[in-house]
A and B are shown apart, each in its own frame.
Chain A
């Protein structure tokens, strides 16, 4: 039995088809990525899973139980982190933890997690930064030892150091047997942690990928500034496209493995080198636009 089964899920808001007939399964103990640009339908799908909104058609089944018919029973087994954590600004972190502990009727493992994440839970949440609010949201999601974690953009707005702490925490949870479903619009997020990825665009699934395949779909934007003369023809490499050039520099798009280009650049003296990941939007345009 799959941990999460989504069948022909549709959610329409008037004429807007936020989610339009998606189906997929998430296996138990899997870290599953749900990737898509902003407005693709990720959050709507998650809200249907959490029974915050009701599907226009289709079904969501979690641990074999219909998410709508037995929402209360299911939520004992689900930890949820919203995309933007909304907290009671007059409460402290401890107040939030106490409130969720009473609703979940669970033992309190939150203080240990707060220590691990270096979060002061004694201050009122209106004084918390975005990152610290996200930490508290993550603690609330993990309270009660849920079997499944549903995380909507778990690293949104976080600095890289804290992102590492979140990944560490999620990997630990996964190693303890938890199934993790996480959405993101950053390719890097899902690459780092997920076993498998579904890609959604304009409410429809456009691809299911293993993470290894997904890595092949990386696009880098490279700008090389040369200290002396250079041979343009040296950069006629498979997967490398020269997008602009001057007498001193080359701009290139690289699809897939970047190492052949790096090796070739090593033959020239460089003044500067800039490498950026292409946005998910660019990747979609390149690989999924025609689907």
Chain B
């Protein structure tokens, strides 16, 4: 399994580096521009207040104060860019790792060796999880040195909690993408199916926030549970979010592994 894991880092190291650099640069950008936001505080506050409450709720930014660094990062970085980058990174790893290898036929090199399919699956899986941790660290923790450089006070606990929630969200997303990739034999098809599921989840969350009669649909979406704004307001991660992400990850992982173990692998 360690050989497969090592190979993943060799093949996808550049992708991970690019994502990590993007995460660092984005948070740097937001921290650097935050003083400018404060200068425009009054105008922006008026603009925010003029927006419909339903719309703010739909985007998870109702009751959000963007005029402190935590609120600003919640709005710009943690609620948008971090989950978006996590989704792209995790889908890319899972898609190229399983269905991509089946499509290109290179999986035969591993399958012809004395290594079980589960070792191949979990080698990629644990490699992906290590990459998830590295990316999350790069996307969240630079806030501390950057806040020092720009003389901005931060609430440490909030950023740690957002990091933990991002990890659980990324774990669930990665497990889902591994399941989709284990089922498919074409990388493009994997991206389409996985992208479709994520898109539907996003739409469900959006509609449920706008239309009260179907508010139950939010429970079907990861985006409802991934809520940095809740952490900002309550200084804790909702237990249900952790539970849902962990349970989904375990179910998707087991389903993906069982299917990959028993499926026909042919080009």
Contacts and interface: CB of A to CB of B under 8 A. Distances in A.
Interface of A: 47, 50-54, 71-76, 78-80, 82, 84, 86-88, 90, 95-96, 99-100, 102-104, 140-141
B266 interface: yes
A100 B266 contact: no
Nearest to B264: A53
Contacts of B110: 103
Interface residues of B, number: 21
A99 B106 contact: no
Contacts of A74: 114
A251 B186 CA distance: 49
Given A52-B264, A52-B266, A54-B264, A104 B105 contact: no
Contacts, number: 63
Given A52-B266, A53-B266, A86-B104, A75 B109 contact: no
Contact of B111 (A50, A76, A102): A50
Interface string B1-43: 0010001001100000000000000000000000000000000
Interface in B227-267: 262, 264-267
B106 A52 contact: no
Q: Which 10 A-B pairs have the closest CB atoms?
A: A86-B105, A103-B113, A53-B264, A80-B112, A75-B114, A76-B114, A102-B3, A52-B265, A72-B116, A72-B114
A130 to B, nearest CB: 14
B3 A72 contact: no
B200 interface: no
Contacts of A102: 3
22 contacts: A52-B108, A52-B264, A52-B265, A52-B266, A53-B266, A54-B262, A75-B113, A75-B114, A76-B114, A79-B112, A82-B108, A86-B105, A86-B106, A87-B109, A90-B11, A96-B109, A99-B7, A99-B109, A103-B3, A103-B113, A104-B113, A104-B114
Contacts of A73: 114
A78 B112 CA distance: 8
Contacts of A78: 112
Contacts of B112: 50, 75, 78-80, 82, 140-141
B115 interface: yes
A52 B105 CA distance: 11
B114 A88 contact: no
Contacts of A51: 111
A87 B106 contact: yes
Given A50-B111, A52-B111, A54-B264, A84 B116 contact: no
Contacts of A76: 114
Contacts of A95: 10
A86 B108 contact: yes
A193 B5 CA distance: 40
Contacts of A53: 264-266
A44 to B, nearest CB: 8
Given A82-B105, A100-B109, 8 more contacts: A52-B111, A53-B265, A54-B264, A71-B116, A72-B116, A73-B114, A86-B267, A103-B113
A118 to B, nearest CB: 22
Among the interface residues A47, A51, A54, A86, which one has the most CB atoms of the partner chain B within 10 A?
A86
A141 B113 CA distance: 9
B121 to A, nearest CB: 14
B105 A84 contact: yes
A49 to B, nearest CB: 11
Contacts of A54: 262, 264
Nearest to B267: A86
Interface in B114-132: 114-116
B113 A100 contact: yes
B4 to A, nearest CB: 8
Nearest to A87: B106
Contacts of A99: 3, 7, 109
Contacts of B108: 52, 80, 82, 86
B191 to A, nearest CB: 20
A71 B118 CA distance: 12
Nearest to B4: A103
Given A52-B108, A88-B11, A88-B106, A103 B114 contact: yes
A95 B262 CA distance: 29
Nearest to B112: A80
A78 B113 CA distance: 8
Contacts of A87: 106, 109
Among the interface residues B105, B113, B116, B266, which one has the most CB atoms of the partner chain A within 10 A?
B113
